Amino acid sequence: MRFRGPLAGRYPAAAAMVALALIPYLALSGALPPMQRVIEQQLHLSAQSFELATGMANAAYAFGTVLAVQLALRAPGRRLLVLYAGLFLVACVIAAAAPSPGLFIAAHIVQGLCTSLMLIAAVPPLVAGWPVSRMPFTAMIMNLCVFGAVAVGPVIGGAEAGAGGWHVLFWCVAGCAAAALLFVLLTFEDVPPAEENARWDPLALVLAGCGCAAVFLGASELLTHALLSLIALLPLVGGLAVLLALVGYQAAAEDPLMPVRALFTTKPVAGIISAMTAGAASIAAIDLVEQAIQPTGSPGQLANLFWPEFGGAVLMALVFGALLRTRWLAALALAGLITLAAGIGTVTGIVGGGHWLVIVASALIGLGVGATVAPALFVAGYSVRSALIQRVFALVELLRAVAAFVTAPIILHLAMTVNGGATRGGIQAGMWVACAIVVVGAGIAATVFRLGGARLQAPDLERWQEGEEPAWDSPRLLDVPRRRRTARTAERRESAARTARGTAR
């Protein structure tokens, strides 16, 4: 294809394209809970149908990461991106117009799918395809796109619900989708497939699709069914088993879609655990807070309580960019988990407490998640060759999405059904569960880092960008105990040899 966009090769235009591609759906996912009742009433949707629609959209987002890698290996990436952006625009227009409940649900599911397709197609080239001097800006943009958009969701969703509508927000999303498609065309520069001779891996796609669909279906059914009911428990357990089988299959494959073996070292494992933990606990905590404060004010008034979360995300994006090339990058995620635990602990008393708890907690949650999710993603990416960055992002986003959007419905279900339910101690119990997830996750990540003998190290981004080596050294898992055993064995052998020599004399 000879066409080359007039803004091709310009970093600001490429960054704007990535932001416009990712922010709409991710912001919408955070904005939907405050607007749920309005949408249900105007579209004549039941609460269960709405929950199923959002669950399947999240499933499509998770599955799209795997599908995007498979397609990128065999087809030109920028042509695929044009297709994804065009399909995303069509889905956004249909969802905003909402000619029928069924079309709204289908369009929203396609929105989730296309967002992850665009993420895997557009973000890795922005990370690895520009000079190293641009990487701190890319890191900040990624942080704001992945988490900042989710953080601002409750604010804009509450404001729209307070106005009694939802169409305006969806049309704004459609406008962003149109702008994203425009920037995709303006920055178009045809590139060959990543590996044109790579084999198709239908088994990985089937496992990813079935696993994501099943696990999110089970989580969605928790709205109206007990956790131990077959309609909820069977898809949940079965879906998780299938996804575990996918990871095991990819670890054993000679040429996997997702480089599980390459990531099975100290730093990326610690980073992935951190990202999954932060995603799972933060989404659950925000959902619980929204449930607790619903009776205490109008949606528009309550929306303003979540501005500090977005402010925390913006501040931490700046910090992330400043620390990207320093030895403190790997420590940032652990500091974020500690801050996140403090934020969730602050809001455990939200039932009967003042709105100031929400303001303080949302700021801490914004700081905590902003310091964890995107930094952990980069920690994993820098631990392998840059040529694998697309596959790394796919695996991390798959695991993070499943952890975040499946754990939250389970915790919310427990909060509504145990310890007196939402009006008594259920919310508090749910908050403590979310806090415990963060504490345990932080402990596991720190232990993995420590037992691997990893050290804080500034990434060598120039070496990484050349494509042959990782940006830093990542020891094997549990390398310290292994080294100690090896040293003790060598010492015993040496002692035995000395004894034998002495006896011989």
DSSP string, 422-472: TTTTHHHHHHHHHHHHHHHHHHHHHHHHHHTT-------HHHHHHTSS-SS
CATH 1.20.1250.20 maps onto the chain at 1-199, 263-482
Report DSSP state, residue 7: T
Tell me the percentage of the chain whose pLDDT exceeds 70: 94
Strand partners, 476: 265
- Confidence (pLDDT) at 479: 78
Residue 480 is predicted with a pLDDT of: 74
Phi, psi torsion values for 405, nearest 5 degrees: -90, -5
pTM score = 0.92
Tokens standing for residue 35: 């607007």
DSSP of 270-334: HHHHHHHHHHHHHHHHHHHHHHHHGGGS-HHHHHGGGHHHHHHHHHHHHHHHHHTTSTTHHHHHH
Architecture of domain 263-482: Up-down Bundle (1.20)
> How far apart (Å, rounded) are the C-alpha atoms in residues 443 and 209?
32
pLDDT tens digits for range 39-58: 999 999 999 999 999 999 99
The answer to whether the beta carbons of residues 145 and 16 sit under 8 Å apart is: no
Confidence of residue 491 (pLDDT cuts 50, 70, 90): low
What's the CA gap between 469 and 355, in Å, rounded?
Answer: 50
What is the phi/psi pair of residue 265, to 5°? Answer: -130, 180
Give mean pLDDT, residues 124-142: 90
What Rg do the C-alpha atoms of the chain give, in angstroms?
23
How many other CB atoms sit within 10 Å of the CB of residue 160? 23
Report the range out of 7-11, 124-128, 238-242, 353-357 with the highest average pLDDT: 238-242
211-237 average pLDDT score:
93
DSSP string, 83-98: HHHHHHHHHHHHHHH-
Position 164 scores a pLDDT of: 86
Question: Taken in order 121, 123, 128, 129, is the CA torsion positive or negative?
Answer: positive
Return the pLDDT at 295. Answer: 81
Angle at 105 between CA 405 and CA 226, to 5 degrees: 50
Summarize the confidence of residues 279-289 as an average pLDDT: 91
113 three-state secondary structure: helix
Q: Confidence class of residue 178 from pLDDT cuts 50, 70 and 90?
A: very high
pLDDT band at 341 (very low <50, low <70, confident <90, very high): very high
Give the pLDDT score at 418: 79
Predicted confidence (pLDDT) per residue in 364-392, tens digit: 999 999 999 889 889 999 999 998 999 99
Of 3.30.413.10, 3.90.1010.10, 1.10.150.20, 1.20.1250.20, which CATH number belongs to 1-199?
A: 1.20.1250.20
Neighbours of 228 (CB within 10 A): 7
Q: What is the 3-state secondary structure (H, E, C) of 332-394?
A: HHHHHHHHHHHHHHHHHHCCCCCHHHHHHHHHHHHHHHHCCHHHHHHHHHHCCCHHHHHHHHH
The gap from C-alpha 440 to its chain's centroid, in whole angstroms, comes to 19
